[in-house]
């Protein structure tokens, strides 16, 4: 009987200490982030260079255009720079060597020797948008015998930069 009393007291004490509470939950399902695609192309691929001329003589000029296309899904601006793997007098002679003037529509972007070509950041090119640049290349009529039998290769690189992010 004493044992029954102790068990009864234990049940009574534990019954006083039990408590109940309500709970509820809610969720935010199907959240996701998708990053943009920054991609640019131009209509003069390696197979169809911007310019390839042989038998150039002093006083020759050549006009070429290139269309830069935003093939991504976010707007960007781009810059242009030039590099050469080897250099001849056509490249290093900044007075008598190759010259270039670059336009965007009626706006002149650069005029000077080819080796120092640098294009400042363009305006915004929206996704799917295009920008056309016109290059006027020349070998000055002052180029003398030192310009004979030379070949100068170069690469123009257009570097796209996304627009700044925004609070959304």
Model pLDDT, residue 4: 53
In a domain, 48, yes or no: no
Instruction: Tell which residue, 141, 138, 130, has the closest CA to residue 112.
Output: 138
In a domain, 12, yes or no: no
Model pLDDT, residue 148: 96
Per the structure, the count of domains in the chain is 1
Residues 91 and 113: their CA atoms lie apart, in Å, by 8
In a domain, 156, yes or no: yes
Is the torsion defined by CA of 107, 90, 56, 144 positive or negative?
A: positive
In a domain, 45, yes or no: no
In a domain, 38, yes or no: no
Model pLDDT, residue 19: 82
Report the CATH number at residue 122. 2.60.40
Per this entry, what is the length of the chain? 168
Model pLDDT, residue 130: 98
Model pLDDT, residue 145: 95
Residues 103 and 126: their CA atoms lie apart, in Å, by 20
In a domain, 13, yes or no: no
Domain range enclosing 138:
58-162
In a domain, 63, yes or no: yes
Model pLDDT, residue 20: 87
Model pLDDT, residue 168: 87
In a domain, 157, yes or no: yes
pLDDT along the chain (168 residues), means of 10: 52 63 95 95 83 95 97 97 95 97 98 98 97 98 95 96 92
Model pLDDT, residue 104: 97
């Amino acid at each position: 009987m004493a044992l029954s009393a102790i068990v009864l007291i234990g049940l009574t004490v534990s019954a006083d200490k039990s408590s109940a509470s309500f709970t509820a939950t809610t969720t935010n399902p199907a959240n996701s982030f998708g990053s943009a695609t920054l991609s640019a192309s131009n209509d003069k691929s390696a197979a169809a260079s911007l310019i390839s001329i042989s038998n150039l003589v002093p006083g020759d000029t050549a006009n070429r255009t290139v269309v830069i296309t935003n093939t991504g899904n976010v707007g960007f601006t781009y810059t242009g720079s030039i590099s050469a793997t080897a250099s001849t007098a056509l490249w290093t002679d900044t007075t008598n060597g190759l010259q270039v003037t670059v336009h965007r529509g009626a706006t002149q972007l650069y005029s000077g020797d080819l080796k120092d070509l640098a294009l400042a950041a363009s305006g915004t090119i929206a996704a799917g948008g295009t920008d056309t640049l016109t290059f006027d290349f020349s070998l000055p009529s002052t180029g003398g015998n030192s310009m004979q039998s030379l070949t100068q290769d170069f690469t123009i690189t257009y570097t796209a930069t996304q627009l700044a992010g925004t609070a959304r």
